[in-house]
């Protein structure tokens, strides 16, 4: 194992751009003065605060240069095939736009992940080096130290032909959400097959490389940290949130059933979930200028205490997972618009904000494209100073403050800004209730099991060809590596297409299916009914 990683390793360093954190608010303290002075100062501060905020907070500088190369807005009208590729350049560090060094890191990450999935990978072990070609002892010691992926010493490594995954950890200062502990807990609680199944379940209609690359980018191409993050997320999905076997499997239909039941606790769960949907507290609609799906959050509709945190967390994950279905490659991120119109302190609730931040930073890495905080009042300044402290600097740099239509137009085409936000689009949110017996295929367990077995076989074939691709690259067998890479691409596309055959058997229909945004077969329509 150590030999293949050493051969794949490149000494190139990955530069990570540092974005300055937006600071729309600041405080300035003066020494204590006489009370009369403070009275005058306070009055002036109140009167002048609005003007100061207008300049400091509400006038964001143009940010069009931060947006990726954009396809025509016409490309987002009509039916879009997510199994095809949109006419836009992939972002750096994503599938189709990797440097040679980044591709090496991807291969390295695959090896580490496959080992946790339970594969021995003996075919990747290189034969022993002949004595005449052996490197000097000092050089071998240096190389071994450089390649101590799992943090093990030379003596321990010599006793084992493969790395011990349980020894992976990350520094405390790099472990904001305690994922090192969760990672070790996952290895104790979950069988390798369970972790493997959870991974392929999360892939859905994505390219598995895209999923792994999200974790690599989030951890600045450190494969060890990315592995901890990945496996911790699998545990979170499978054991904590039950994303695929409950939230998405049961969907809105379960909430309706719960709300009509006699068990008071279950009834409350169903009602809480449906309340979010019916109010339109947050919803998915349209795309921004970069083709990213937009999630609008109408903050004024939230009142702390009106619902349990459990229901809000379920609704949050449900919305994020549904948004994933609307990503048309090479688009990999979404935009969130927090509409702060008529915001008051009664609308502020820190618990769901913390949960949302954790989701995007720890469990859905590299999923946020832009966050727009729209029409925030001056009283939001103190709240923002708290929230900003919770954010990773990279995430905080994606936050922009907008005050009017003109500001929004920098991110969203005016024809696709709904009238509620002072745009031209004549559209308003309306919840379409769950239809009776709208999930008939979910009762067909036999077909579901057949399709799941087919998917697992495809996943196994992708794993096998991935190993062959890495092995050929390791041995510098260019022809074999290219052949394996092409075969691998074909299998990945089969897996992506197969998901949409499986989808109605494992995912309950949603509002977005009922209004014909998600159309099945990988087809979506962001603006159903609109002419292209």
Tens of pLDDT, residues 421-433: 999 999 999 999 9
User: What's the pLDDT at 312?
Assistant: 95
Q: Residue 338, SS3? A: strand
352-364: burial string, b at 16+ Cβ within 10 Å, e else: beeebbbbbbbbb
Instruction: Please tell me the predicted confidence (pLDDT) of residue 71.
Output: 57
pTM of the model: 0.81
Would the CA dihedral through 144, 147, 153, 159 be positive or negative?
Answer: negative
Residue 286's pLDDT is: 97
Which pLDDT value is given to residue 77? 79
- Ranges of residues in the chain whose predicted pLDDT is under 70: 1-75, 122-173, 531-532
Which tokens go with 59?
């006038």
Written as one string, the DSSP assignment of 85-96 is --SSPPPTTSTT
- Separation between Cα atoms, residue 280 and residue 273, nearest integer Å: 11
Q: What angle do CA 397, 398, 401 make, to 5 degrees?
A: 95
pLDDT of residue 13: 44
Fold of 63-92+280-429: Phosphatidylinositol Transfer Protein Sec14p (3.40.525)
pLDDT at residue 120 in the model: 84
pLDDT of residue 398: 97
What is the DSSP secondary structure assignment for residue 440, as one 8-state letter?
G
Q: Characterize 236-253 residue by residue with b for buried, 16 or more Cβ atoms within 10 angstroms of its Cβ, and e for exposed.
A: bbbeebbbbeebbbbbbb
Q: How far apart are the first and last CA of the chain?
A: 53
Q: What is the pLDDT of residue 126?
A: 44
Note the pLDDT tens digit of each residue in 229-277: 999 999 999 999 999 999 999 999 999 999 999 999 999 999 999 999 9
Residue 184's pLDDT is 94
Q: Partners of 298 in the beta sheet?
A: 339
């Amino acid at each position: 194992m150590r030999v293949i990683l050493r051969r794949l390793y490149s000494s190139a360093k990955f530069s990570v751009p540092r974005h300055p954190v937006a600071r729309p608010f600041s405080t300035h303290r003066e020494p204590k003065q006489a009370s009369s002075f403070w009275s005058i100062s306070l009055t002036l501060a109140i009167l002048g605060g609005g003007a100061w905020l207008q300049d400091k907070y509400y006038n964001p500088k143009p940010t069009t240069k931060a947006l990726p190369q954009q396809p025509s807005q016409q490309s987002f009208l009509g039916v879009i095939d997510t199994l095809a590729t949109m006419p836009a350049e992939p972002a750096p560090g994503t599938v189709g736009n990797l440097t040679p060094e980044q591709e090496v890191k991807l291969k390295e990450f695959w090896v580490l992940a496959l080992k946790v999935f339970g594969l021995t990978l003996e075919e990747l072990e290189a034969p022993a080096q002949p004595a005449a070609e052996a490197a000097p002892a000092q050089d071998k010691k240096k190389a071994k130290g450089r390649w101590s992926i799992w943090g093990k010493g030379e003596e321990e490594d010599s006793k084992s032909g493969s790395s011990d995954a349980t020894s992976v950890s990350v520094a405390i200062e790099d472990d904001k959400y305690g994922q090192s502990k969760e990672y070790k807990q996952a290895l104790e609680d979950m069988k390798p097959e369970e972790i493997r199944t959870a991974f392929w379940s999360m892939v859905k209609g994505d390219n598995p490389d895209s999923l792994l690359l999200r974790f690599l980018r989030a951890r600045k191409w450190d494969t060890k940290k990315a592995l901890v993050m990945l496996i911790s997320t699998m545990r979170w999905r499978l054991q904590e949130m039950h994303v695929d076997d409950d939230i998405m499997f049961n969907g809105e239909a379960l909430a309706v059933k719960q709300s009509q039941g006699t068990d008071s606790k279950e009834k409350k769960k169903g009602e809480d979930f449906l309340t979010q949907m019916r109010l339109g507290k947050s919803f998915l609609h349209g795309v921004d200028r970069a083709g990213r799906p937009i999630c609008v959050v109408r903050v004024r509709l939230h009142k702390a205490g009106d619902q349990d945190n459990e229901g809000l967390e379920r609704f949050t994950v449900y919305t994020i997972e549904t948004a994933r279905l609307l990503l048309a490659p090479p688009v990999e991120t979404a935009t969130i618009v927090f509409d702060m119109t008529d915001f008051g302190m009664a609308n502020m609730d820190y618990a769901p904000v913390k949960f949302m931040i954790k989701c995007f930073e720890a469990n859905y890495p590299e999923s946020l494209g832009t966050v727009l905080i729209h029409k925030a009042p001056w009283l939001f300044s103190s709240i923002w100073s708290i929230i900003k402290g919770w954010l990773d600097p990279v995430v905080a740099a994606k936050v922009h403050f907008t005050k009017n239509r003109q500001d929004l137009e920098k991110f969203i085409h005016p024809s696709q800004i709904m009238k509620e936000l002072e745009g031209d689009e004549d559209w308003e949110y309306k919840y379409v209730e769950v239809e009776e017996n709208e999930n008939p295929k979910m009762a067909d367990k036999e077909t579901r099991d057949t399709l799941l077995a087919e998917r697992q076989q495809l996943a196994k074939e992708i794993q096998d060809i991935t190993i062959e691709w890495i092995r050929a690259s390791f041995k510098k067998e260019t022809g074999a590596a290219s052949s394996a890479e092409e075969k691998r691409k074909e299998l990945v596309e089969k897996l992506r297409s197969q998901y949409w055959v499986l989808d109605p058997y494992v995912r309950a229909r949603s509002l977005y299916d009922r209004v014909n945004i998600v159309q099945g077969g990988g087809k979506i329509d962001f603006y159903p009914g609109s002419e292209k």
